[in-house]
Amino acid sequence: MATTIEDGTGSGFSVKVDGENRLFSRSITESEFEYSVRKGSSFNVNTEFLTITGSSETPIMYLKSNEDKDIILAAWFIGTDNSSGGTRSGLMRVYFNPTAGSIISSGTDVTPVNRQGGSSNTLDLDVKSGGDGFTATGYDSTPVLYQTQGASARAFGNVQLSLKKGSSVVVTYLPNGAQPVEIYTGFQLYISEVED
């Protein structure tokens, strides 16, 4: 008895099978990030330029997830400009789970921007920018990301970090002589739809 596979939407389409019993199909493949952009659940966060004049390791961004689903930090970007120190060896670090510090309590609010124009979807994150005079403490002793940064340069890379609800990261910058320098940093991120 022959079996026919038909379109379940009621359009009456059937599948094609050739003489060697091969089923013909076409598919559209997209990454989870691309899917989230199309669904309006992907965002950018960006400190915009901060001026760093001090020489110590300085917290410049704090990000905490309050979402029930995992937040994926898909890509990390950094930009520096107007360095007067003549060095190209500033160090960027990202640490998990700071517990205290003035960047958490009194940093400047950063608004996540939806990557789908016209979407009204929002994201439940605490995002703060810091800079000179701000502190962060209690984070993991070893950074999860570590990146040198030129005095006038832009860096971008896929990082694929995941934050459960209540988890956070802090981004720090150690000028190593580049100060004063203008710097910004941020992430492309999205809400994961993958079930545990």
Contacts (Cβ under 8 Å, ≥6 apart) of 27: none
| Every domain of the chain and the residues it spans | 36-191
DSSP 88-148: --EEEEEEE---B-HHHHHPEE---EESSTT------EEEEE--TT---BS--SS-SEEEE
pLDDT of residue 15: 83
pLDDT of residue 63: 98
pTM here is: 0.86
Long-range pairs of 32-40 with CB within 8 A, sequence gap ≥ 24 = 32/72, 32/190, 32/192, 32/193, 32/194, 33/72, 33/74, 33/188, 33/190, 35/193, 36/190, 36/191, 36/193, 37/115, 37/116, 37/190, 38/116, 39/116, 40/114, 40/116, 40/119, 40/120, 40/121
Q: Are 190 and 74 in contact (CB under 8 A)?
A: yes
pLDDT of residue 16: 85
Fold classification of 36-191 is Jelly Rolls (2.60.120)
| pLDDT tens, residue order, the chain (196 aa) | 566 677 778 787 888 888 898 888 888 888 898 999 999 999 999 999 999 999 999 999 999 999 999 999 999 999 998 887 666 578 999 999 999 999 999 999 999 999 999 999 999 999 999 999 999 999 999 999 999 887 778 899 999 999 999 999 999 999 988 889 999 999 999 999 876 6
pLDDT of residue 87: 60
pLDDT of residue 86: 62
